[in-house]
């Protein structure tokens, strides 16, 4: 009887955590990017977020819970996360970027401004897809369901492979 109560109590403690397994972090650091690109060039995706953005949190939770999306981000691309209000200096593509205050306790990181210079609006979450030479190829903002984000990324990767194949074919002919 005591053993049964113990087992039931133990089950009640761990039951909420069962079935909610999350995948490990797939993002790499900005510091590791240059070495990783030198060894294995592949596209880069930068997720720009803020700590106060509810949709950003939802997006991150969706990434962690989606094995398919985590696999795409971890294997097919270099996935970087950038807090738009990060106050630390970031070295990116051989250049230093800093936090740029725009009020007593607010501001935006210069790297966000650099990546978004061709975007009409900066809204979070914001995504930038770059090629292996750090050139922005595509950007979009707003929350996307994990399945939709994965579909978009796979379409981009397919288009990139097709363009590469066409360039190789043109070089042979």
Q: How confident is the model at residue 118 (pLDDT cuts 50, 70, 90)?
A: confident
What is the per-residue pLDDT across 27-86, written as a single tens digit (0 to 9) for each?
999 999 999 999 999 999 999 999 999 999 999 999 999 999 999 998 999 999 999 999
Q: What is the DSSP letter of 88?
A: S
Whether cis (ω within 30° of 0) applies to the bond prior to 30 is no
Q: Which CATH number does 30-171 carry?
A: 3.40.30.10
pTM of the model: 0.80
The predicted pLDDT at position 13 comes to 43
Q: How confident is the model at residue 128 (pLDDT cuts 50, 70, 90)?
A: very high
Q: Is the CB of residue 83 less than 8 Å from the CB of residue 50?
A: yes
Whether cis (ω within 30° of 0) applies to the bond prior to 150 is no
């Amino acid at each position: 009887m005591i053993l049964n109560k113990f087992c039931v109590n133990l089950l009640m403690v761990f039951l909420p955590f069962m079935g909610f397994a999350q995948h490990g972090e797939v993002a790499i650091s900005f510091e590791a990017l240059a070495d990783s690109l030198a060894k294995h060039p592949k596209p880069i995706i930068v997720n720009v977020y803020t700590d106060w953005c509810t949709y950003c949190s939802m997006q991150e939770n969706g990434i962690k819970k989606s094995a398919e999306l985590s696999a795409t981000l971890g294997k097919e691309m270099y996935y970087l996360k950038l807090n738009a209000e990060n106050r630390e200096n970031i070295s990116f593509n051989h250049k230093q970027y800093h936090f740029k205050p725009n009020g007593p306790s607010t501001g935006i990181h210069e790297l966000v401004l650099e990546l978004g210079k061709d975007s009409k609006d900066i809204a979070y979450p914001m995504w930038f897809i770059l090629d292996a030479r750090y050139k922005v190829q595509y950007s979009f903002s707003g929350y996307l369901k994990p399945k939709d984000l994965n579909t978009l990324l796979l379409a981009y990767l397919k288009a990139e492979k097709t363009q590469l194949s066409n360039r190789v074919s043109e070089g042979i002919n």
